[in-house]
Each structure stands twice: as C-alpha cells, then as structure tokens.
Structure 1
C-alpha cells in the first residue's frame, strides 16, 4: 500500500524538521531520530551545540526534498 506523495510533501514542508514526513512514510526510526535531534537542538541552542544539531537537521530536511517521493511510493505495511 502506497502513501500519498502529496501528503508526504505537505508534512515535509510544515513538519519536516520534526521528521513527521519520515514517520508517515514508514521510516519510523529515522523520523524519531530527526525529532530527537530537533528537540535537543532547540533546547541547547543557547549553549552552542544546539545550532550544530539544528544545522544537521536542516541539511537532512533539504536532502529529504529529493527523497520523500521515493519513500512515499515504496512504503510497505
């Protein structure tokens, strides 16, 4: 069963930093990792390491621009 590519991209655009689009596409492990990095980055942004974590998530989010369609189409329950 495939997931909707349009919904996956809407989730990527609005909630991509939280990894929700990855969870929707069945990539739960990497989605939760993205969520944890975002939360830890936000909580530690004042310390300095948070900027690095958010930078990693931002690059990951941009790469997912090209990967989300394939993830949604290859979803298997």
Structure 2
C-alpha cells in the first residue's frame, strides 16, 4: 500500500475551508468542499427544512442542531483537510 499526496491543484486549503465555513457553515458547504458529501447534504437539508418551521419551534431546534454541528466542525476542519490531502492510494 502506497501513501500518496494529492497534486497541488487538487489539495484542499484549510484557509478556504474556514472561509466557506464562516459564510455558509449552516449549509455544510465546507463539508462538501472537503469531500464529506453525505453529511453536507444532511446539514443542508436540516437547515433548509428548518426555515419554514422556524415559528413552530422545530425549526429553531433544527438551527440549534446545525449551529452546534458547524461549531464542532470549526475544530474538525484541519483534520478533515489533512485526511483528504493525505489520501491513500491502493496499488493497482
């Protein structure tokens, strides 16, 4: 098994991930950028579904959930980028 790094053009920047997180954190776009497609879709779905439900209290609960998730991601972003950038390529 070989450990290979991504080419410079495909490497993911922690700085850019934080910038995306700061602007679109509740929608999970930083997770999409870092290759976490399923959790990004889940985060976006919770946020979008919470908008029409905001007055019922369920929407507020959804926003609390995605806000907590986004705050946890502030700590996890460097590790996610490192994991993606240090992708392991299997020998053919």
Counterpart check, 1:32 vs 2:41 = yes
Shift in Å, 1:74 = 1.2
Q: TM-score when scaled to structure 1? A: 0.93
Which has the larger Rg?
A: 2
Which has more helix, going by share of residues?
Answer: 1
Q: In angstroms, what is the RMSD of aligned CA positions?
A: 1.4
Where does residue 63 of structure 2 map in the other structure? 54
Runs of 4+ more than 6 Å apart: none
Q: TM-score when scaled to structure 2? A: 0.79
Matches within 5 A, 1:1-77: 1=6, 2-75=11-84, 76=87
Task: Give CA-to-partner distance per residue, 1:20-49, whole Å, 9 cap, x none.
Answer: 000000000000100000001112101210
Aligned residues, how many?
77
Which has more strand, going by share of residues?
Answer: 2
Question: Quick one: distance in 2 between partners of 1:46 and 1:12?
Answer: 26
Query: Which runs of 5 or more residues in structure 2 are unaligned?
Result: 1-5, 88-92
